[in-house]
A and B are shown apart, each in its own frame.
Chain A
Amino acid sequence: MRALLLLLAALLAQPALAQSALAQSALPPAPYAYRQLDDPAQEKQAHDLMVTIRCLTCQSQSIADSDASMAGDLRSEIRERIARGEKPEHIRRWLIERYGDWISYEPTSDPILWPLWGVPLLMLIGGAALAATRIRRRGRRNGRRGRNGKEGAGQ
């Protein structure tokens, strides 16, 4: 019983600790910054979006990875919008309207990214062409050797 109480006390103390670690602000974090949505399907939608949104404070992390206050505020904003039924791609567009493509880790279909999409295709075609010519050449050589062999047997 006492162990249980201690455990409970430790659990209760944890948010206070987390808060003092985030000394950037006097306020408690936004409601859904560190809390998942109750509906697992909605939480999955929110999480899938959050891992592709760049943190504005720690610019190489996603907001799902970052402990910055602003990342927490953005997580809460995204979760609440998804809970209200907004589509993840709509939220992404809203953020890109404000911060530019920079904020999204998801590559877009803008002309500047055409090489990114095109290069794998070109390499695939190039590789296939290379393989085709080599196979054809080897086939020809094998054929020649075959004839040579027959000639040899005839001697």
Chain B
Amino acid sequence: MKRWLLWLPLVLFAALALMFIGRLRQPDDGLIVSKMVGKPLPEFTLPQAASDRPPLASSEFARGRPRLLNIFASWCVPCAAEAPQLEALAAAGVPIDGIAIRDAREDVDAFLKRWGNPYRHIGLDARSQVQIALGSSGVPETFLIDGQGRILHQHIGDIRADDVPGLIAKWKAAQ
């Protein structure tokens, strides 16, 4: 029996322990980053979601100017929390389009009346089909689309006040 072979189980155990410690120290934020970032926006045509905004189609995004695409829903609480930040972005001149997920017209209308309406177009994605095609896994999420209709950036979760300058800078850089 070779001597060194006796140490093999201990070495294997140490390697496993190191791996566990390493992985346990990494925070598990549960964020699922879309693999569509860097790819063209999938084609879609959505019906109107709000009474006073036109519906949304993917063709809006290939017109030379970068835009934000905000995935939201009237039933989503963090979407109400990010409303002031969307207003600030719109006030800075950033065009924002919305997709309302699994929503109803009167609910969207009430939501926009209560929290403000920074959107140019709003499409209704009643069955999350466009959301899935975008590789988005929840609400709210915000995508930056360049003037050629390519997805440049994905912001997962609600936009906080300190995210606004970064998003404006990214939007300006995409011009």
B132:A74 contact, CB within 8 angstroms: yes
A16 at the interface (CB under 8 A from B): no
**CB-CB nearest in chain A for B39:** A97
Interface pair B32/A76, CB less than 8 Å apart: no
A43 interface hit (Cβ, 8 Å) = no
A148 at the interface (CB under 8 A from B): no
- Asked if A25 and B103 sit within 8 Å, CB to CB, the answer is yes
Residues in B whose Cβ lies below 8 Å from that of A26: 74-75, 102-104, 107
Cα–Cα, bound, A92→B36 (Å): 15
Least distance between B122 CB and chain A CB atoms (Å): 16
Beta-carbon nearest neighbor of B76 in chain A? A24
B102 contacts A25, CB within 8 Å?
A: yes
Q: Is B35 an interface residue (CB 8 A)?
A: yes
* Minimum CB distance partner of B34 in chain A: A98
- CB-nearest residue of chain A to B30: A59
| Interface check B157, CB cutoff 8 A | no
Contact B73 A77 (CB under 8 A): no
Count of A interface residues, CB-CB < 8 Å = 23
- Separation of A19 and B137 alpha carbons in the complex (Å): 21
Given A25-B75, A25-B103, A98-B34, residue A73 in contact with residue B132 (CB < 8 A): yes
- Judge whether B38 is part of the interface by a CB distance below 8 angstroms: no
How far is A85 from B62 in the complex, measured between Cα atoms in Å?
A: 32
Query: Would you call B117 an interface residue if the criterion is a C-beta within 8 Å of the partner chain's C-beta atoms?
Result: no
Tell me if B137 and A24 are in contact (CB < 8 A).
Answer: no
Query: A24 to B73, alpha carbons, bound, how many Å?
Result: 10
Using a Cβ–Cβ cut-off of 8 Å, how many residues does chain B contribute to the interface with A?
A: 25
Which residues of A lie under 8 Å from residue B74 when comparing CB positions?
26
How many angstroms from the CA of A30 to the CA of B131 in the assembled complex? Answer: 14
Cα distance A27–B108 when bound, in Å? 12
Nearest chain B CB to A64 CB, angstrom units: 16
Question: CA of A107 to CA of B52 in the docked complex: distance in angstroms?
Answer: 48
A98 touches B107 (CB 8 A): no
Residues of A within 8 Å of B104, CB to CB, are 26-27
CB-CB under 8 A for A98 and B135, given A24-B102, A25-B102: yes
Within 8 A of B (CB), among A3-37: 23-27, 30
Residues of B within 8 A of A76 (CB): 127
By a CB distance below 8 angstroms, the chain B residues around A104 are none
Interface residue ranges, B against A (CB under 8 Å): 30, 32-36, 73-75, 101-104, 107, 126-129, 131-135, 137-138
| Nearest 6 interchain pairs by C-beta | A98-B135, A25-B102, A56-B137, A73-B128, A26-B104, A30-B127
Which residues from chain A sit less than 8 Å from chain B, CB to CB? 23-27, 30, 56-57, 59, 69-70, 73-74, 76-77, 95-100, 102-103
* Known pairs A56-B32, A56-B137, A73-B132 / 10 extra A-B pairs, C-beta < 8 Å: A23-B75, A24-B75, A26-B75, A26-B103, A27-B104, A73-B102, A73-B129, A97-B35, A98-B36, A99-B34
* Subset of 16 A-B contacts with CB under 8 Å: A25-B75, A25-B102, A25-B103, A26-B74, A26-B107, A27-B102, A27-B104, A30-B127, A57-B138, A59-B30, A70-B128, A70-B138, A74-B132, A98-B132, A99-B35, A100-B33
